[in-house]
Structure 1
Amino acid sequence: MKHHALLSRTLFVVLAVALLAILANRFSALGGALAVLRRITPGQVLALLLMAAALGTDAMSLAIGIGLRGISWREGIRVSLVIGLFHIIMPLIGTAVGGYFSKLAGGIAQVTGAAIVAIIGIRMVWGCLTSEGTTQASQCKLTGLSLLLLALSVSIDALSVGLGLGALGYNVYLTSVLFGVFGAGMTAVGLFLGKKIGSLVGNYGELLGGGVLIILALKLFLEGELFYR
């Protein structure tokens, strides 16, 4: 377990450093960033906001399901930040690696993430039905590689979006940051709503949350399968 935690932290640091390096290289000066902002039209701003909200829906659905089982504020912050980071990185990767590779890698990651979401959901439902909800919930902590794979699975759509942003004349770097802000924000809102609903429905919150996660896992799996067709 300690090795997994160390590996996940190392991967997270590497991803964060790589992201900062990319952004620093692109926006080497504040004037350059402001120049990019001045070139964005109101229509593009609206389109980007709608796109960012659409990309954050899977993350919000996942967060609601997790919030229903109960989550600490520390864990909630960690989950939100990791998902937000992946929403920033994935469009950049999609732009860099091209179409075929991003679809292949995206499909594999999404199916893997869907399996993890399904396992968590099934364990939550089983724990509630067998009156072991508290024990099962404590075993479903989102840490290490499981958290990274979950964040990856709900950020896959941003991978393919990155392919078309540059061709449409959008600034990929600035757009990726916007996606990250929305991804983290919608995750935090989902966790809050899930936790509030869970406190109202009591023991049924874990059952409801497990059902939400299982449905989301099925959706992610079917979308991942489409990458291979």
Structure 2
Amino acid sequence: MTAYQIGEMVSLIFMAIALGMDAFSVSLGLGMREIRLKRIAVIGIVIGLFHIIMPFIGILLGQVISQQIGQYAVLAGGLLLVGIGAQTVFSAFNHETRRFVQPVGAGLFIFAVSVSLDSFSVGLSLGMSQVKAVIALLLFGAASMILTWTGLILGRKVHGLLGVYSEILGGSILCGFGLNMLF
């Protein structure tokens, strides 16, 4: 592996963790509902799958857009990551309480889509930057699944001490990678 490849892999790992932080913070609150361990396993797997599907769609669209706009692709991708990260940080300061749907059936689908929407946008910007899609998707899915499990289990124990701080950390990491792409 070259230094560039190692750097790209480290960036993807940190980006995967940043994307999974949203699922982690929401799972902390959801975990306070005393969800059974079997349900926790299913929720984590579904969240992980959606963190693969949503950025995959984004990457495909990003590659199409990249071929159309060429040199502006990296600029657009960087701005998109900064925007997503800033929105994540600002939403962490929104003090409205979130209403959670039941994590079964359609409620689980809604929950999975809501926490993976940001990964669609990140996938769009990654598609513009010609990143290795399979590695990125697997990292996004694995990180979000593990962070969801961690959040649900910690939520049962901690009762919400880290929720806002994890969103701020995740948003800051996305902003940092966006700025890195821009400069």
User: Corresponding residue for 1:61?
Assistant: 25
Secondary structure at the aligned position of 1:118 is classed as coil
Summarize the Cα distance change of 1:39–1:176 in structure 2 as closer, same or farther, 3 Å threshold.
farther
CA distance in 1, matches of 2:52, 2:3: 21
1:40/1:152 Cα in 2 relative to 1: closer, same or farther (>3 Å)?
farther
Amino acid in the other structure paired with 1:185: I
Per the TM alignment, residue 174 of structure 1 is displaced from its structure 2 partner at its CA by 1.9
Matched, 1:152 2:132: no
Q: CA deviation at 1:40?
A: 7.0
Runs of 4+ aligned structure 1 residues displaced above 4 Å come to 37-40
1:144-201 C-alpha deviation (Å, 9 max, x unpaired): 1111111111111110111222332311122111100000000011111111124xxx
Q: 1:95 aligns with which of 32, 51, 59?
A: 59
Among 7, 12, 19, which residue is 1:48 paired with?
12
Over the matched positions of the two proteins, sequence identity in percent amounts to 37
Q: Shift of residue 80 of structure 1?
A: 0.4
Answer 1 or 2: higher relative contact order, Cα 8 Å, separation at least 6: 2
1:23-34 pair list within 5 angstroms:
none
CA distance in 2, matches of 1:50, 1:56: 10
Counterpart amino acid of 2:132? N
1:70 deviates by 1.0
Aligned to 2:47: 83
Aligned-partner residue type, residue 56 of structure 1: G
TM-score normalised according to structure 2 size: 0.63
Which position in structure 1 is the counterpart of 2:99?
119
Q: Which runs of 5+ in 2 are unaligned?
A: 66-79, 81-96, 168-183
**Higher deviation after alignment, 55-64 or 161-170:** 161-170
User: Is 1:197 the equivalent of 2:158?
Assistant: yes
Matched residues in 2 for 1:39 and 1:83: separation? 32
Question: Contact (CA 8 Å) 1:91, 1:161: kept in 2 or not?
Answer: yes
Q: Which residue of structure 2 aligns with residue 108 of structure 1?
A: none
CA RMSD in angstroms, aligned pairs only: 2.8
The answer as to whether partners of 1:84 and 1:184 remain within 8 angstroms in 2 is: yes
**1:177 aligned to which of 138, 143, 158:** 138
Instruction: Name structure 1 gaps, 5 residues minimum.
Output: 1-36, 104-116, 121-139, 199-207, 217-229
Q: Secondary structure at the match of 2:59?
A: helix
Counterparts of 1:61 and 1:80, CA distance in 2: 13
How many residue pairs get matched?
132
Whether 1:161 and 2:122 are equivalent positions in the alignment is: yes
Q: Look up the equivalent residue of 1:42 and give its one-letter code.
A: I
Q: Is the 8 A contact 1:91 1:172 kept in 2?
A: no
Local SS of the residue matching 2:103:
coil
